[in-house]
C-alpha cells in the first residue's frame, strides 16, 4: 500500500512536469512498412505451420525486426503437440470402390501403413446411449456431427472397440475439426451428403469402408518472439501487444495472421521512440492454429506484471475494425480502446470475440482487447495471399494500437486494476 501510494505520488508529480499520452503527438505508422512484413511472411516464407522450418524462419525474421527497432529480444520456447496430415484416403469398398472426400480430424491416430477395411456401423451422434444394441467392435463407427465434442464421439467409439471413427458434417463441405489430443483410433471428417448416403446404405445392407490415414502426432518445440521496451517509472507493469504468426497447413496466412503480426510490428517500430511509464512487450505468438499453444504457455509462465493485453488477428481485410473481449470477461481495456478510437477518428464496432490468443490472457485474469475485421473468403485457404490484404487497413490497426498503448502505458491513476506480480 505504501509502495502504491509512493508510486502514485511519483506519478502525479511526473504528470505535472511531463505531458500525458494524448497531449503528446502520436507518431504515424506506415502502410508500406507494415505491408512489407506481410509480403515477407506470407509471400517469401509462405505457410508457417508450428514446428516446421518455416516457423523457425518466421521467428528469425521477427526477432531481427524487433532488434532493429531497439527492443530487447528473446525467444520464449515451449513444447506443444505437433500435428500433420500426410495422406488421407477413404473409399466405399466395391467394384469399383467409390472414393469419398475426407480430412483427418486434428490429432487423429494413423491407420496401419496399408490402411484398414471394416464394416460401417452408424451410431447417431455417438453419445453413450447411441451405442446400445449396436455392435461396433471391429467396425468403423459412423457418427453425425453435433451436441458433444469430436473428442467425446471418437473416445466413445474407441471404448466400445471400434477400429476407426468417421464423423459426417451437418452442413455443406468437409469440416476441419480438432480432437484436442491424440485419439486412440483414426478419426476422419466427411461431408453431410456422403455421411447420409452411407447411413442409408448401412441400414439397407452391409457396407464396408477402406481407410488410410497417415498422420504425425508428436511433441515438438516452438517459440514466441518477445520484444521488450522498459518503462520509465513503472517498468514492472507491462502492456502486451500480440498476434500469432503461424498459419494452417497449405495457407500462406497473409490475413490470418501475417496482418496482425505486421500491424503489431509497425506499432512497435513507431512506439520505440516514445517514452512510456509502463513497459511494453510485443509478443508474436507461435502455434495458435493448433490450439493457442504459444499464447497459453506465455500467459501462464509470464503473467506476473501484465496489466493489459491487445491482440491482433485478421486485420488486413474488411472495411471496419471490430473490438471486443470474450463473453463475460473484463471489458475495461475494450472501453479504453473505444475511447481512443473515437479520439483518433477510427470507426470501430464492438462485438463478441472468437477464439484467438487473447483468450489465453483472459484465462489468467488479464483484461484484453481483441482487434479484427471479420472473416475473409480465403480464411485457412491457399488464397490467403498478400494481394488480398489492404495496406492502409494494417496502418489503421497499428495507429489504433499505438493510441491504446500510449493511453495504457501512461499510467494515469485509476485507469486499470493494477496487479503487479499477478
Distance separating alpha carbons of residues 59 and 63, to the nearest angstrom: 6
CB of 80 or CB of 131, closer to ligand BES: 80
Work out whether strand 72-92 and strand 102-104 pair parallel, antiparallel, or are unpaired: unpaired
Secondary structure (H, E, C), 280-319: EEEEEECCCCCCCHHHHHHHHHCCCCEEEEEEECCCCCCC
Strand partners, 238: 279, 306
Among 12, 44, 137, 355, interactor with ligand BES by CB under 6 A:
355
Using CB under 6 A as the binding rule, whether residue 313 contacts ligand BES is answered as yes
Binding mask 221-260 for ligand BES (x = CB under 6 A): -----------------------------------xx---
Query: Is the CB of residue 321 less than 8 Å from the CB of residue 348?
Result: yes
Stretch that binds Zn ion, among 146-154, 221-229, 256-264, 362-370 (CB under 5 A): 256-264
How many of the chain's residues bind ligand BES (CB under 6 A)? Answer: 13
**In Å, how far from its chain's centre is CA 46?**
17
Please identify which residue in 191, 356, 388, 390 interacts with ligand BES, judged by CB under 6 A. Answer: 356
Which H or E run includes 324?
strand 321-324
Residue 87 near residue 211, CB atoms below 8 Å:
no
Distance between first and last Cα of the chain = 16
Q: Which of 130, 144, 266, 289 binds ligand BES (CB under 6 A)?
A: 289
Residues 366, 93: Cα–Cα separation, whole Å: 53
Specify the residue, 26 or 257, whose C-beta has the smaller distance to ligand BES. 257
Chosen residue from 215, 257, 295, 360 binding Zn ion by CB under 5 A: 257
CA 178 vs CA 167, 280, 386, 400: distances in Å: 12, 34, 27, 34
Per CB under 6 A, 295 contacts ligand BES? no
| Min dist. Cβ of residue 372 to Zn ion (A) | 8
CB of 313 to ligand BES, least distance (A): 4
* 144 vs 256 by CB, closer to ligand BES: 256
By beta-carbon proximity to ligand BES, the closer residue of 144 and 288 is 288
Q: Quick one: which of 27, 354, 383, 420 contacts ligand BES (CB under 6 A)?
A: 354
| 250 neighbors 47 (Cβ within 8 angstroms) | yes
CA distance 324 to 276: 25
- Judged by CB under 6 A, the chain residues 362 through 381 that form the site for ligand BES are 372, 375
Which residue of 256, 331, 396, 407 would you call a contact of Zn ion, by CB under 5 A?
Answer: 256
Q: CA-CA distance, 160 to 139, in Å (whole number)?
A: 10
Rounded Cα gap, residues 164 and 141, in angstroms: 6
Q: How far is the CB of 353 from Zn ion (least distance, A)?
A: 12
Which of 314, 334, 336, 371 binds ligand BES (CB under 6 A)? It is 314
Q: Least distance to Zn ion from the beta carbon of 280, Å?
A: 22
- Cβ–Cβ < 8 Å for 376, 255: yes
Partner that binds at residue 331, options ligand BES, Zn ion, none, CB closer than 5 to 8 Å by kind: none
| Residue nearer to ligand BES on the CB measure, 50 or 282 | 50
**144 or 357: CB nearest Zn ion:** 357
Per-position x/- string for 292-321, each x denoting binding to Zn ion as judged by CB under 5 A, each - no binding: ---------------------x--------
- The answer to whether 109 and 182 have CB atoms below 8 angstroms apart is yes
Shortest Å distance, C-beta 326 to ligand BES: 12
How far, in Å, CA of 360 to CA of 80, rounded? 15
> What is the CB neighbour count within 10 angstroms for residue 77?
13
246 binds Zn ion (CB under 5 A): no
Q: Which residue, 392, 257, 238, is CA-closest to 310?
A: 238
Name the site residues for Zn ion (rule: CB under 5 A): 256-257, 313
Which spans of this chain sit near ligand BES (rule: CB under 6 A)?
256-257, 288-289, 291-292, 313-314, 354-356, 372, 375
Amino acid at each position: 500500500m505504501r509502495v502504491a501510494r509512493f508510486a502514485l505520488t511519483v506519478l502525479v508529480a511526473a504528470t505535472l512536469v511531463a505531458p500525458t499520452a494524448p497531449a503528446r503527438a502520436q507518431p504515424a505508422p506506415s502502410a508500406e512498412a507494415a505491408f512489407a512484413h506481410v509480403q515477407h511472411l506470407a509471400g517469401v516464407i509462405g505457410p508457417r505451420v508450428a514446428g516446421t522450418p518455416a516457423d523457425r524462419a518466421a521467428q528469425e525474421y521477427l526477432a531481427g525486426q524487433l532488434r532493429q527497432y531497439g527492443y530487447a529480444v528473446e525467444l520464449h520456447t515451449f513444447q506443444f503437440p505437433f500435428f500433420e496430415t500426410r495422406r488421407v484416403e477413404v473409399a466405399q469398398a466395391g467394384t469399383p470402390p467409390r472414393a469419398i472426400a475426407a480430412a483427418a480430424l486434428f490429432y487423429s491416430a494413423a491407420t496401419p501403413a496399408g490402411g484398414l477395411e471394416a464394416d460401417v456401423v452408424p451410431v447417431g451422434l455417438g453419445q453413450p446411449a447411441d451405442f446400445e444394441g449396436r455392435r461396433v467392435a471391429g467396425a468403423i463407427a459412423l457418427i453425425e456431427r453435433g451436441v458433444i465434442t469430436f473428442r467425446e464421439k471418437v473416445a466413445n467409439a474407441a471404448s466400445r472397440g471400434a477400429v476407426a471413427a468417421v464423423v459426417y458434417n451437418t452442413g455443406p463441405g468437409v469440416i476441419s475439426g480438432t480432437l484436442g489430443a491424440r485419439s486412440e483410433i483414426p478419426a476422419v471428417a466427411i461431408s453431410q451428403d456422403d455421411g447420409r448416403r452411407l447411413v442409408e446404405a448401412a441400414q439397407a445392407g452391409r457396407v464396408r469402408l477402406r481407410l488410410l490415414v497417415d498422420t504425425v502426432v508428436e511433441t515438438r518445440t516452438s517459440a514466441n518472439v518477445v520484444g521488450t521496451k522498459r518503462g520509465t517509472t513503472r517498468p514492472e507493469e507491462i502492456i502486451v501487444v500480440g498476434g500469432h504468426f503461424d498459419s494452417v497447413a497449405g495457407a500462406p496466412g497473409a490475413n490470418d495472421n501475417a496482418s496482425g503480426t505486421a500491424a503489431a510490428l509497425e506499432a512497435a517500430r513507431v512506439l520505440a521512440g516514445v517514452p512510456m511509464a509502463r513497459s511494453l512487450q510485443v509478443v508474436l505468438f507461435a502455434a495458435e492454429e493448433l490450439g493457442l499453444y504459444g499464447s497459453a504457455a506465455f500467459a501462464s509462465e509470464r503473467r506476473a506484471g501484465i496489466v493489459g493485453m491487445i491482440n491482433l488477428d485478421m486485420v488486413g481485410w474488411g472495411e471496419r475494425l471490430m473490438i471486443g473481449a470474450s463473453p463475460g470477461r473484463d471489458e475495461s481495456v475494450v472501453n479504453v480502446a473505444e475511447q481512443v478510437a473515437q479520439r483518433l477518428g477510427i470507426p470501430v464496432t464492438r462485438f463478441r470475440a472468437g477464439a484467438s490468443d487473447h483468450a489465453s490472457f483472459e484465462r489468467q485474469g488479464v483484461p484484453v482487447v481483441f482487434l479484427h475485421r471479420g472473416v475473409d473468403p480465403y480464411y485457412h485457404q491457399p488464397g490467403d495471399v498478400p494481394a488480398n490484404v489492404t495496406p492502409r487497413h494494417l496502418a489503421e490497426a497499428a495507429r489504433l494500437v499505438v493510441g491504446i498503448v500510449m493511453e495504457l502505458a501512461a499510467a494515469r491513476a485509476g485507469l486499470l486494476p493494477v496487479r503487479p506480480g499477478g
